[in-house]
A and B are shown apart, each in its own frame.
Chain A
């Protein structure tokens, strides 16, 4: 074996070892629920303890027509009441008159959803090979097509203080939360309540004012 062959053999051993190591990369078997997230954010200069009252509309805004075709309104009452319960537990008082009671912050709740569709195609029942005068490869059989669709949605809860200025604009979102994930048969009252509760669990500063 000369030096060139030895170098090639070295390279081959290295590559085989590397491929085996990379092939051990775990997939973890994640399910669709594993891609659901609850994200919360806040403006760092906010003093949350100064907020005592809030106003929240009694409906959830669907940001477009497609959202209304995907997301049912049967969960609206549950979503709004769960938000109100959490805010009450943190000491916030809900107001119903934005003029007379002049709430400190306003809570806006919005939902959006869209459908993704993936097409796949191919042939079935055929074979590769020469056939008559056709230029190879000829493939017999017939085409089949299919689609996979999934609905993805998000629920956004924003706390807006109209008296402050953020980025040179009057009024701004001082706290926001988003639940995002697949929308489908997996959604239930318990699922929604738990996810909305999580928005407030990971935002204790809404009550204490102590930012992380």
Chain B
């Protein structure tokens, strides 16, 4: 992981040296933990996630642009029974289950940044758009899967810490809320998706 962060930092610095002056980009590692009913499907904090933001400056303190991300959760549950219905056959399957959730975030969002361009800059952000959820339950060779698109919002707070002329460390916390859509495989009354993510990466540009 240290090598990865070092390579990322070097490349971010290289890119930032020639970036245009009206936008900045962030790429970050995302550690996410589920909340709400989603926890009953997979109760695990996942380190398998990353995100990319590209923001254009509207003023010295306000920027807006794309917020993209990917998070994956997966955990194993033993001795669990899952009900199923397949054509005219209904029943249940008992065994070791591997629960997996893949989620992509594709939003438009903005940030309000405090402070000057060379300072440590706290910011608050808000993004809205779509979040996908792909629930998978694997029981031996049997797979149950449910994929849905959700309308979602994601408020965030964070810090940009200057590293060099055009690069900064980007630390943020984001709460993602995907509104109910489709059915939950795990028996929840509504198929919403909520999770906190802690994001750490680099921002380049100005």
Residues of A within 8 A of B (CB): 1-2, 5-6, 9-10, 12-14, 16-18, 20-22, 24-26, 28, 30, 33-44, 180-181, 198, 202-203, 211-212
Contact = CB atoms under 8 A, between A and B. Distances in A.
A142 to B, nearest CB: 38
A28 B50 contact: no
A175 to B, nearest CB: 9
Interface stretch (B12-20, B107-115, B153-161): B12-20
A44 B86 CA distance: 11
B70 to A, nearest CB: 7
Contacts of A43: 88-89
Given A13-B8, A16-B4, A17-B29, A1 B14 contact: yes
A10 B15 contact: yes
Chain B interface extent, by class: 35 or more
B49 A21 contact: yes
Contacts of B91: 39-42
Contacts of A12: 11
B92 A9 contact: no
Contacts of A28: 74-76, 98
A190 B25 CA distance: 60
B27 interface: yes
B21 interface: no
B78 A20 contact: no
B76 A24 contact: no
A34 B15 contact: no
B15 A9 contact: yes
A22 B12 contact: no
A37 B93 CA distance: 7
A192 B47 CA distance: 39
B94 A202 contact: yes
Given A20-B50, A21-B50, A212-B83, A38 B94 contact: yes
Given A39-B92, A44-B88, 11 more contacts: A1-B17, A13-B8, A13-B27, A20-B50, A21-B49, A25-B72, A37-B94, A37-B95, A180-B140, A198-B94, A203-B92
Given A6-B15, A34-B96, A17 B142 contact: no
A42 B27 CA distance: 51
Interface in B22-73: 25, 27, 29-30, 46-50, 52, 70, 72
The winner among B50, B91, B141 for most chain A CB atoms within 10 A is B91
A92 B86 CA distance: 28
Contacts of A14: 27, 52
A42 B72 CA distance: 35
B8 A17 contact: yes
B206 to A, nearest CB: 14
B19 A17 contact: no
Contacts of A16: 4, 7-8, 11
